[in-house]
Amino acid sequence: MDNLADRFRRRDGVVGVVGLGYVGLPLAATFAEAGFAAIGFDRDASKVAALRQGRSYIRHVAATRLAPLLRAEPPSAGQAGFHPTDDYASLPRCDAVLICVPTPLNANREPDLSYIVGTTEVIARYLRPGQLIVLESTTYPGTTDEVVQPLLERFGLRAGQDFHLAFSPEREDPNNSAYSTRTIPKLVGGVTPACGEIAAALYGEVIERVVPVSHARVAEASKLLENIYRSVNIALVNELKVLFDRMGINVWEVIDAAATKPFGFTPFYPGPGLGGHCIPIDPFYLTWRARQYDLTTRFIELAGEINQAMPAFVVEKLADALNERAQSLKGARILILGIAYKRDLDDDRESPALKLMELLGRKQAQFVYHDPFVPVLKRSRRYDFQLESQPLTAAELRAADAVIIATDHSAFDYEFIVRESRLVVDTRNATRGVRQGREKIVLA
């Protein structure tokens, strides 16, 4: 174990990253930039082909960043660089294997660990003594030692004796210019203290601050707490948005006023619902786990219910606004601005805009969308709209009976949007700086 830690400190080791998505790709690049030999594994051959051709499929991970790191062949220990592949036969070359795969919910809103299980089964077939395996995917407390560890031990090797096993949750915030993979503190917990020390030694070479915790379960629970904290607070302001709307009070002004207090208050902001692969999903991992301990996490589940109800609130506000103009939602043409779940991002996973589309379809409204970062709506686990982004022109805005601002991209010219539109339903307070045509704006 000490020898492996020393090798990591000398950066004389090969790091494998399984899953080259929004978490895995920047992580692999960070290790390669720090002088490690990095091999990225992904079963999507199209992603691997794009990377090998010097193209990035993630907007905030620039091709210019990846280009100098790419190697045509898997690098050996001591050879800095990054090699993407869909051939898992290179796993034995790796001294550390970091698992960065999705953890979605199934149709019953229960944890779907199929990606973790499938990936771990592949790793188990190639596992050799002395390797470090780290799970980074967000999951419920106990996954690393109850699910991953038995799968890895099925061929006779033992965690803490023959190989090392830890959990270190990803904390990526895509497109956040203030923080990067390197600068975000890294939690690390092993299934044994020694496993945690080995994992901390690895991450300590590329992350500015590593925070060791006593066990993998503590790290797993900590990641869930981070996202549940956000979910609950967003639910609070979403509920207040509905209340204050009925009272004729602007919730954004209320929040800004409260935020002037220099202590005891952290501002959170309402929206059309929650999106991304963390906040809409992760809290339900803990509610499911809690039921196994005969407990009901009512606070967390209530927050989830409130947040999930927000797209319906937006559609209701839209219908009311059209009704005031003697128009029905049925048959109306609605232009949705922004499909990505977050400003200036190209990620539409779990985006509330998709739920808005579903609800508009049920009301027999016609809808199109514009998003400069999502040119085509690809099929997801739940939706298959088969739509392409429409140009944001004056003619398109005028043709729409209403425009819904679902994502507040900074590229949008909100003065232009309000000027050319008949009705604007603003779910993000993006039009707060617009002075002309405010009679067209409905905050939702």
- For the cut 80, the answer to whether the pLDDT of residue 65 exceeds it is yes
Q: For CA atoms 175, 178, 183, 186, give the dihedral sign.
A: negative
151-194 residue pLDDT tens? 999 999 999 999 999 999 999 888 788 999 999 999 999 999 99
**What pLDDT, on a 0 to 100 scale, did the predictor assign at position 389?**
98
Write down the pLDDT at residue 147: 98
What would the mean pLDDT of 296-304 be, rounded to a whole number?
Answer: 94
Residue 108: is its pLDDT beyond 90?
no
Tokens, residue 266? 């952290």
Residues known to be catalytic: 278
How many residues are recorded in the chain? 444
Question: In whole angstroms, what is the distance from residue 429 CA to residue 442 CA?
Answer: 10
Amino acid 176: pLDDT: 84
Other CB atoms within 10 Å distance of the CB of residue 377: 21
**Percentage of the chain modeled with pLDDT above 90:** 94
- What is the layout of strands, in order, in the sheet containing 210-212? 81-85, 37-41, 14-18, 96-99, 132-135, 164-167, 186-190, 210-212
The contacts of residue 71 (CB under 8 Å, 6+ apart) are 79, 81, 82, 83
The whole model's pTM is what? 0.93
Helix, strand, coil shares, percent, the chain, to 5: 40, 15, 45
CB 325 within 8 A of CB 423: yes
Residue 340 in this model has a pLDDT that exceeds 90 = yes
Burial of 113 (0-12, 13-18, 19+ CB in 10 A): buried
Q: Residue 2 above 70 pLDDT?
A: no
Closest of 111, 165, 441, 435 to residue 285, by C-alpha: 111
What CATH superfamily classification does 2-214 receive? Answer: NAD(P)-binding Rossmann-like Domain (3.40.50.720)
Average pLDDT of 213-218? Answer: 98
- Looking at 3.40.50.720, 2.60.40.10, 3.40.50.300, 3.30.70.330, the CATH number of the domain 309-443 comes to 3.40.50.720
CATH 3.40.50.720 region(s) of the chain?
2-214, 309-443
pLDDT in tens, 377-428: 988 888 999 999 999 999 999 999 999 999 999 999 999 999 999 999 999 9
